[in-house]
Each structure stands twice: as structure tokens, then as C-alpha cells.
Chains A and B, each alone.
Chain A
Amino acid sequence: GQNIDQPTEMTATEGAIVQINCTYQTSGFNGLFWYQQHAGEAPTFLSYNVLDGLEEKGRFSSFLSRSKGYSYLLLKELQMKDSASYLCAPMDSNYQLIWGAGTKLIIKP
């Protein structure tokens, strides 16, 4: 079957760094997306990885290891506005996104 595993909740301090891990199992693979979702809002795109390695985009970076079925999202210089849920969503062979429940990130001053 298809499965996503992320921590349910994480807490970090403003200005610090946090890494959100994601392991996945899908039928086929066409890349992995990370989305940010604030409470009561729709998801917004953060990053996309299709090849192994690290993709850096400002304060956010995303890493992928296809052989391990593993990805992480790294957030640097955390700001209060980064408090949100972070959704790891791999794309299967039918180009459908597979969604888990996401990781709720709480930033404390």
C-alpha cells in the first residue's frame, strides 16, 4: 500500500533550525512535494525533489533519498510565521499526490 510517515508535532524556538523527516512508500514515484498549510487555509507549495540530494530555497531546504524512501524539510532562522503544518506529499506512478496528516510545527519565542 501507499503510506506516509511524519512526526505529528514538533516544537522549535524562534531563530533556530528544525528538520522535519518524512518516510514514504508509494506505487511508483514521480517526485516528492513539500507543502505548508496554515490553520484554516489551503496548502501552499514549498519545494519539489525528483532526484536525490538537497534543494535549497532561501530559508527552506529539502532533501530526498529515493532508495531509502526518505525526505526531510529543513527550516532555518525560524520565524513565528513558520508555525504551520508541513505536508510531505510524494507523487505516485499515476501522478497523484499521496497525503499524510502532516507535521504541526510550533514555534516558541
Chain B
Amino acid sequence: GAVVSQHPSWVICKSGTSVKIECRSLDFQATTMFWYRQFPKKSLMLMATSNEGSKATYEQGVEKDKFLINHASLTLSTLTVTSAHPEDSSFYICSARDLGRELNEQFFGPGTRLTVL
């Protein structure tokens, strides 16, 4: 149990276009999902915390108008990278917390590798 999926697993896009990444909890409900970005050989960087039915909480330095987050249901959160530029190329990972469990573990999706040309 506690499986998180992400789609797409990789995407290549042109500079200036927008890309949407989906994160789904497949077998549990997640009122809270997290979006991370990871550059090669660097640590996971939390971008925002996504709460179902309310606005996401963005970390300092993350532009909320550029990285649009929508958490429309208890099993789905989306991250849209708007007007993507080459410096947005990174590995984007979502995670979700299963409130049905006592342990505050975050279950991670497989990640989405974004390359902006």
C-alpha cells in the first residue's frame, strides 16, 4: 500500500511553454502533498506544500506564479511550470502523507525529469 504515482515520468519542452505534472496517491487519501525539486548531486529542495481544498504554501524563493499548484482532490495534486526556461530543467518529485497511518512518513512518487530546451 501507500503508492504514489507521477505523470509524466519525463518530459522535454521548448522554452516558454508550460508543463503540467500530476501526482496521485493511488491507494490512500492525502490531504497534504509536497513538491520537491532536485538538481544533480544536490539535496531535495522543498518547493511547496499542497493542501487539498486550499492554497499551497510556497517556500521562500519559489515563485508561486511560475509554479502553479492545484490540489483538487484527496488523491491528486498538480504542478504546472509556466513559461518554462532551461534553468527550470530538473527532477521534480512529489510526496504524500497518509493520514491513516500513525507514522508521519512521506511516500514519494517516482519523479518527473523535466528538460527545457
Contacts and interface: CB of A to CB of B under 8 A. Distances in A.
A86 interface: no
Interface string B80-117: 00000000000101000000000111111111010000
A30 interface: yes
Interface residues of A, number: 20
B46 interface: yes
A8 B109 CA distance: 25
B105 A43 contact: no
Contacts of B43: 87, 99-102
Nearest to A104: B41
A31 B103 CA distance: 9
A45 B46 CA distance: 17
Nearest to B108: A42
Nearest to A95: B104
Interface of B: 41-46, 49, 91, 93, 103-111, 113
Given A45-B105, A100-B43, 15 more contacts: A31-B104, A33-B105, A41-B110, A41-B111, A42-B93, A42-B108, A43-B44, A43-B108, A48-B103, A91-B104, A96-B46, A96-B49, A97-B46, A99-B46, A101-B42
